[in-house]
Structure 1
Amino acid sequence: MSPAALILRYGAFAVLATVANLGAQRAVLAISDGTLGFAIAVFTGTAVGLVLKYVLDKRWIFDDRSTGMAAHGRKFGLYTAMGLITTAIFWGTETAFWLIWDSHAMRELGAVLGLAVGYVTKYFLDRRFVFAAPAQVAP
């Protein structure tokens, strides 16, 4: 895949995961607002975005065709671990925007900015640690 196609595809998947994340957050916030509602919304949105992005990245970005529970469990575990770093960027930015402006529009802007920076960082971490080609054994 050409670098331009990779960037476009990865960007489209990041947008899909972001929309799914923010949609899940809005659904939770429609039921429960305030500090607890915010915390539940951020956690729920993150989980929804994580699962969607893993499924898309595994097949369409890294062309990983491994199957089986062991392979999926190991890779999803590593994918999630790499996501902890980038989630801190996302949550920190979103929370800062929420605390500074106390506005859902600004919270979502912070989320989008945090997710954008996080997804770029995550691509490089995933390429290196999650979906890296197995080391070749010398004969």
Structure 2
Amino acid sequence: MSIAVLYTLFAAISTAINLGAQMASMWIYGGPRAVEVSILVGTAAGLPLRYVLEKRFIFDFSSRSLVHDGQLFTLYSFMGVFTTLIFWSVEYAFHLAFGSASMRYAGAVVGLGIGFYVKYQLDKRYVFVSAPAARFP
């Protein structure tokens, strides 16, 4: 199976986990800032699984130790900050523009798609590389 197909499959799985966690969050908590809380919960729900799947099946990368794996996960998560801002911005813009849950979730799918593409590029260049000099200090 090609990397593009696998990455798309993993992105779809991650998106489903993200949106499912958002929906569950909204069901559990409907108070002030419920939308913002649900977006944060959804983001946190899919991250560890995506890291493991991408590290193994997309980048075929093996960490040297548990400490190294922790460092990689930290860097992977840090790269995700930028792409998460893209995702959140698009989702929240849809929420503000259309005012409905279905359109907010549509915005989430669009934002996640853009974010996944950018994230792949960042991870390929800075996270899952063999040469330490290619990483951020």
TM-score by length of 2: 0.91
Alignment partners' CA distance in 2, 1:35 and 1:64: 42
Code of the aligned partner of 2:21: A
Alignment partners' CA distance in 2, 1:90 and 1:33: 22
CA displacement at 1:133 relative to structure 2 = 2.1
Q: 1:8 aligns with which of 5, 8, 15?
A: 5
Instruction: Tell me what 1:85 maps to.
Output: 82
Instruction: Tell me what 2:123 maps to.
Output: 126
Code of the aligned partner of 2:87: F
Q: Which runs of 5+ in 2 are unaligned?
A: none
Number of matched pairs: 133
RMSD (CA atoms): 1.6
- 1:29-68 aligned at under 5 Å gives the runs 29-33=26-30, 35-68=32-65
Which portions of structure 1, spanning 4 or more consecutive aligned residues, are displaced by more than 6 angstroms? Answer: none
Q: 1:27 aligns with which of 20, 24, 29?
A: 24
Encode CA deviations 1:62-120: one digit per residue, 9 max, x unaligned. Answer: 11122532111110111011101100100000000011111000000000000000000
TM-score by length of 1: 0.90
Q: Percent of counterpart pairs with the same letter?
A: 44
Q: Which runs of 5+ in 1 are unaligned?
A: none
